[in-house]
Amino acid sequence: MNRMIFTMIFCVLLQPASGQEIKYINRDSLNRFCDRIMQTFAAGKFREATQFFKQHSVMDSTSVNNIGITMSEQMAGLMPFYKKIVGYELITEKEVKNSLALRQYLLKFENYFLIFDFFLYNNNTGWTISNFYYKDAPGDLF
């Protein structure tokens, strides 16, 4: 019994380290992963979404942790003004050849929105998420 518990704990501890090695062979599987992250954000689980993202990105773990902490703190202060999350949608998808892509999502609140940018990169052996941003201004969308 102790051996099984130790094995489970060991596997859980190794999961984040091995998760950063994940590359998606095709864009469709990576697109579904981005959608899954946005579903987690839409459920109001900001820190969980960033941790999930960290396991499958080439971004520095410390940077992703800081994004999760900052986002959780900001949302706690903004939710009284933005109100309830009502959903998300993919608003833009751009591709440069078969090497770079940008997926932009709109996280919709009752009173406002956030825009999420996922930068995807293909090094000819697979796709990864190379970077991620969120903002509250439409900027270059129009």
Mean pLDDT, to the nearest integer, of 10-31?
Answer: 56
- Judge whether residue 79 has pLDDT over 80: yes
In a domain, 61, yes or no: yes
Q: Flag whether 111 is in a domain.
A: yes
State the DSSP H helix or E strand holding residue 74, giving kind and residue range, or none if neither.
helix 61-82
Q: By the 8 A CB rule, do 71 and 82 touch?
A: no
94 domain residue, yes or no: yes
Q: Provide the pLDDT for residue 40.
A: 93
Q: How far apart are the C-alpha atoms of 41 and 49, rounded to whole Å?
A: 6
Residues 6+ apart with CB under 8 A from 135: 114, 115, 117
Residue 59 lies in a domain: yes
Domain count for the chain, please give it.
1
Q: Is residue 8 domain-resident? A: no
- Is 45 domain-assigned? yes
What domain range is 50 assigned to?
Answer: 24-137
Is residue 90 a contact partner of residue 105, using CB atoms and an 8 Å limit?
Answer: yes
Mean pLDDT of the chain: 80
CATH number at residue 29: 3.10.450
The Cα-based distances of 73 to 8, 77, 87 in angstroms read: 32, 7, 20
12 located within any domain: no
Confidence of residue 42 (pLDDT cuts 50, 70, 90): very high
Does residue 36 lie in a domain region? yes
Positions of E strands within the chain:
85-96, 100-109, 113-122, 127-135
